[in-house]
Structure 1
Amino acid sequence: MELKNNYDVIIVGGGAAGFTAAYEASNKGLSVLVVEKGKTLGGSGNYIEGAFAVDSFMQKKHADYHLTKSAALDEELTYSHYKADTNTWKQYIDGSADIIKWLKDLGVEYFDVEPLGSGARTWHLFKGRGDAVINKVLAPKAKQQGTDILSSTEVTKLISENGKITGVEIKDLNDNSISKIKGKNIILATGGYLNNKEMIAQYTNYDANQLIPVNSYKNTGDGLSLAWKVGAQRYAMGMAMLFGGYIKDPDKPSHVYRYDELNGAANQQSLLWVNETGKRFVNEEVVDNFAQAGNALFTQNEFYTILDQATIDHLQNNSLYKAMGTYDYHDTKLPQLQEEIDKELADGAKYLTKADSIEELAKELNLPDLPETINRYNEQAHAGKDKDFGKNSKFMVPVEKGPFYAIKQGVGAFCTMGGLKINLDNQVLDQNGSPIKGLYAVGNDAAGMLIGDTYGPNMPGTEAGYCFFSGKHTADVIAEK
């Protein structure tokens, strides 16, 4: 590709936020370059299921929808203990419905708008997930409008002159050659740092060995490091978007279990959870708020889901105990559950243990308190009252018909949010809170403005929606300068 000498906009990262900005900027007549370090486009944005909005045309079709903008703002600020920035949230909420319509007008297709668990009806679900939004709509249209796209290319340095960012240094990952490109405006859209174990260890309280990233594996904090090196303020580090338990398999990439029926049964059915000694430790209905479930699970050194053959048979042949948390699980049964279990056992999956008795299961996994836990749990299940943690009786499913199974898990996470402080124009701020001229951040790199210490699935789709909102908004800001 023959590159221009100077671009109006250089975007670092070719995911949801990056290509939203690329489309909008090129549509406004600006020259645009997207630099993506992966071989393929979309990154973790390909897995986005839906986007947040308030008062969208889709929500207004539902008679049970009563959420107001002010109520949404109050809820998010309260949820974050007012660590979130009020004006950033207000701006985002006010523009959120327009983004849903804007995407539709571009050709994005939706299933519907739904709640997640006990959350509000704010999750505008895409047909084909973010993959379709990025790779079938935004990226092709941006390219048609003249956007240049470099893949397998890493931005290694931001170039500054006289206090302004004026370009980037890039490395071609095919031959390691280095070159420089000028740009009037640089947008960081690199998706956070979930896949950087050193950053997780340094800047969060999460056990990196228990944390299981389920994303594109490309989110290694590149944009944050680039910005910090030119004086950007390190801000709101320490929070990952946890989504509860997740199968912990040392022999396979984590993404293979994302829509696995056994994973769904273990983590979204409020079945019995025990810790590293075999003791129960929480009301398993916490799965209705998956971020809170992740927090609860991190209080233990290890944890397992325990279930028996009767539970497996019920989930496969009769019905779910509760609706699953994502739209991929709208079926009322798990028809492949036994087949998945048998295959994993035949393959020697280390996370899955089967035994003919609870005592044998406890011995196999060194869970000395498990037999006592199961006895008490079954007694309370038959009595119809959870005296220990108050779980609804319909989810107190006895564990008594062998064979018995234990599923070892970690805590799943999709992304981090935070790292850079921005203003309402998405300009990156320095240590004194002043804009670094020519430098912007969008998506996960900038989303620390929206959070406290826990992601809010009470308003599902907020981070995905912010990727699209911040990408378009930033491009509009630059185009209007």
Structure 2
Amino acid sequence: MDKKTAIEATTSTTSRRSFVKVAGAALAGAAAMGLAGCAPQTGKSSSGSSNSGEGWDEEFDVVVVGAGIAGLASALTVATEGQGASCLLIEKGPMASGNSPYCKGDAIWTRDPEAMSKYLKNLAHGTTPDDVLDAYAQGCSEIYDWMVDLGVNVDEMSVTEPATADTAEEWNAEYHELEYSYAFGYFAVGKNKDVEVKGPNHVHVFLQEKVNEHSDVIDYRTDTPLMDLVQDPETKEILGVVAGEDGKRIRAKRGVVMCLGGFEHSPEMMQNYLSQGAAVPAAGSMNTGDGHRICARIGAEFWHMNNCAGFWLAGRDLENTAYTNPPIFKPAPKGFGITVGVNGRRFYMDWDGYNVRERYPYMSDMSVHVGSRHGHMQFGGEWPHLPLPSKAWFVFDSDGLAQGAIPPETTKGHPDEEGLALAANSIEELAEKMEVPVEELVTTVNQWNECCDNGKDIFFHRPESTLVPVKKAPFYAQLCAPSFLNTDGGPVRAADGSILDHDGNPIPGLYSAGEFGSIWGHYYEGGGNVAECLVFGRISARSALSRSGE
């Protein structure tokens, strides 16, 4: 049975064990061999062969790895609910170095977990078991109140109430064509534009401050990378970690919570699992897949390795070293011109960005509409991730530049002199500088301008509001590279946050939260990752605390 058939065979009544065996079978060998094969060798410990009784340098009740939103939520749960339990929180870099500090900070939440769960199951397309989605939905009904209980300033929050079945037509969910897509709202710490924000202006900043307030039970250490996990070779229980360049062996009496994010900054893994080794992540710098390799060595099953929040073709400088258009930007600058490949041709719906879409009614048919929903674009009437080339060009004219093809805060009006774009007085000259076939680019631009004149993109059906011609010299070409927010793949997670092995059994004492083995395996709803960090940060910490710790 191939992977596609296996996933289609799963249903809402699939048991956890059979789901993991079936849907994960295609990844088991690759994860165990490919990931483990390129794992760093620490020289300090060998996962799966270290025994429990000897040589601990320190011990804590719970060890949390990674100080993003998920790790901070886990540590705070230990501090506030652990009745004195001790927590070690370690971070690879000098500060949180994944996506958390850079994200928008919006979290989805709900007052109707049953409806929310039904929506999530429509999004998942059978890639995540029902009980995991049920746990997530229930958690989404609790996180707003939890943040309030922690002391967030509600007046400084941006809060959008969840819609209901009666108000569904007024709500604009990302996947509004799916039933129950109205069942959630958003909240964000310190984002109320109607007041002067004096406190934390981001959920990560707020949680960091709260962790600092609990320094009596949370030992937070930066520049302390996870080097290895210590596993009992007979029981397979995770006993502790090897952490820091000095290789300290630290016992975790109740459990280890893995909050290491994705593998955005591992070109090798990006190519192996997503065929996008040249893709550029929008944030973070240290999500290099270390935890994935370590978990592969101790027998974890993997899922969702081919899923991410992306891709779209984002503007870069000519050296491909920095974004020239912010990767998360509205309105999409790509609406002021066209995108062509190295062959000089348009090849997809090129009005794209991380989340660019029109407003459509609840339960409308989206099979003929266009847009970009975290990289999902309409293709053949469905909304898959599109394969994108490693290099493309965004072509626009002087009018397009004036409208914002490169935002004014990025350029002083001469992008060619600033290394942001090529410039020429004719399309022929521009094609030569781009090193694309001259006749192809001339034909493509002429076809596009004809579409603009007629008010209809007959090739890729872009909305009329984005039909901006390319007619007025000087003409510009901006380098584009595939861009994305985060990967989702990692160790399979149970409803209680446990990391599962190849047989669908929990690896004792090992848990995960956030984007490290995320629940998102098909469509992704914006704000869902921040919520997942909060929800499973709490769930996994509670599960670890429930163990005896003897």
* Same-fold status (TM-score > 0.5): yes
Equivalent residue in structure 1 for 2:212, among 118, 121, 140: 140
Equivalent residue in structure 2 for 1:187, among 239, 257, 265: 257
In structure 1, the partner of 2:469 is 398
Residue 428 of structure 2 aligns to a residue in which SS? helix
Deviation at 1:135, TM superposition (A): 3.0
In structure 2, the partner of 1:33 is 88
Alpha-carbon distance in 1 for matches of 2:536, 2:318: 36
| TM-aligned CA distance change 1:336 to 1:186, over 3 Å | closer
Alpha-carbon distance in 1 for matches of 2:72, 2:529: 16
Residue 156 of structure 1 aligns to a residue in which SS? strand
Q: Identical aligned pairs, as a percentage?
A: 24
1:95 is aligned with what amino acid? Answer: G
2:130 is aligned with what amino acid? Answer: T
Gaps of 5+ in 1: 57-67, 317-332
| TM-aligned CA distance change 1:26 to 1:299, over 3 Å | same
Alpha-carbon distance in 1 for matches of 2:223, 2:271: 27
Residue 285 of structure 2 aligns to a residue in which SS? coil
Equivalent residue in structure 2 for 1:308, among 397, 400, 415: 397
Alignment check: 8 A CA contact 2:325 2:407 kept: no
Equivalent residue in structure 2 for 1:284, among 350, 358, 373: 350
Alpha-carbon distance in 2 for matches of 1:71, 1:285: 33
In structure 1, the partner of 2:304 is 236
* Counterpart check, 1:223 vs 2:291: yes
Equivalent residue in structure 2 for 1:432, among 484, 495, 503: 503
| TM-aligned CA distance change 1:371 to 1:104, over 3 Å | farther
Residue 376 of structure 2 aligns to a residue in which SS? helix
In structure 2, the partner of 1:200 is 270
| TM-aligned CA distance change 1:468 to 1:296, over 3 Å | closer
| TM-aligned CA distance change 1:299 to 1:201, over 3 Å | closer
| TM-aligned CA distance change 1:24 to 1:227, over 3 Å | same
| TM-aligned CA distance change 1:189 to 1:200, over 3 Å | same
Alpha-carbon distance in 2 for matches of 1:367, 1:295: 28
Deviation at 1:367, TM superposition (A): 2.7
Equivalent residue in structure 1 for 2:157, among 110, 116, 124: 110
* Counterpart check, 1:99 vs 2:168: no
In structure 2, the partner of 1:362 is 431
Q: Deviations over 1:334-372 (max 9, x none)?
A: 553651x52x433434xx111112121112112321111
Alpha-carbon distance in 1 for matches of 2:65, 2:325: 29
Residue 78 of structure 1 aligns to a residue in which SS? helix
Alpha-carbon distance in 2 for matches of 1:451, 1:296: 12
Residue 227 of structure 2 aligns to a residue in which SS? strand
Alignment check: 8 A CA contact 1:429 1:436 kept: yes
Higher share of residues assigned helix: 1
Alpha-carbon distance in 2 for matches of 1:205, 1:434: 27
Deviation at 1:411, TM superposition (A): 1.3
Alignment check: 8 A CA contact 1:213 1:254 kept: no
Paired residue total: 433
Deviation at 1:432, TM superposition (A): 1.0
Equivalent residue in structure 1 for 2:512, among 433, 441, 459: 441
Gaps of 5+ in 2: 1-55, 162-171, 191-200, 358-372, 378-382
Q: Deviations over 1:373-413 (max 9, x none)?
A: 11111112111122222222221111111111111111112
In structure 2, the partner of 1:7 is 60
Alpha-carbon distance in 1 for matches of 2:298, 2:175: 42
Deviation at 1:218, TM superposition (A): 0.9
| TM-aligned CA distance change 1:299 to 1:244, over 3 Å | closer
2:448 is aligned with what amino acid? Answer: Y
* Counterpart check, 1:451 vs 2:502: no
Alpha-carbon distance in 2 for matches of 1:88, 1:248: 38
| TM-aligned CA distance change 1:434 to 1:118, over 3 Å | closer
Q: Deviations over 1:67-99 (max 9, x none)?
A: x65554444433433223222122211221321
Deviation at 1:126, TM superposition (A): 3.5
Deviation at 1:266, TM superposition (A): 3.5
Alpha-carbon distance in 2 for matches of 1:367, 1:436: 53
Alignment check: 8 A CA contact 1:266 1:305 kept: no
Equivalent residue in structure 2 for 1:384, among 438, 455, 466: 455
| TM-aligned CA distance change 1:77 to 1:303, over 3 Å | farther
1:258 is aligned with what amino acid? Answer: P
Q: Deviations over 1:230-282 (max 9, x none)?
A: 11113331222215222334757547853697x97534x37422222221222
| TM-aligned CA distance change 1:195 to 1:299, over 3 Å | closer
In structure 2, the partner of 1:22 is 75
Residue 206 of structure 2 aligns to a residue in which SS? helix
| TM-aligned CA distance change 1:397 to 1:222, over 3 Å | same
Residue 219 of structure 1 aligns to a residue in which SS? coil
Q: Which moved more, 1:86-95 or 1:110-119?
A: 110-119
Alpha-carbon distance in 2 for matches of 1:423, 1:159: 21
Deviation at 1:478, TM superposition (A): 2.6
Alignment check: 8 A CA contact 2:89 2:218 kept: yes
Alpha-carbon distance in 2 for matches of 1:50, 1:201: 28
Alignment check: 8 A CA contact 1:46 1:131 kept: yes
In structure 1, the partner of 2:422 is 353
| TM-aligned CA distance change 1:216 to 1:389, over 3 Å | closer
Alpha-carbon distance in 1 for matches of 2:328, 2:303: 36
Alpha-carbon distance in 1 for matches of 2:276, 2:407: 31
Deviation at 1:213, TM superposition (A): 1.5
Alpha-carbon distance in 2 for matches of 1:298, 1:193: 19
Alpha-carbon distance in 2 for matches of 1:312, 1:125: 33
1:266 is aligned with what amino acid? Answer: P
Alpha-carbon distance in 2 for matches of 1:382, 1:148: 64
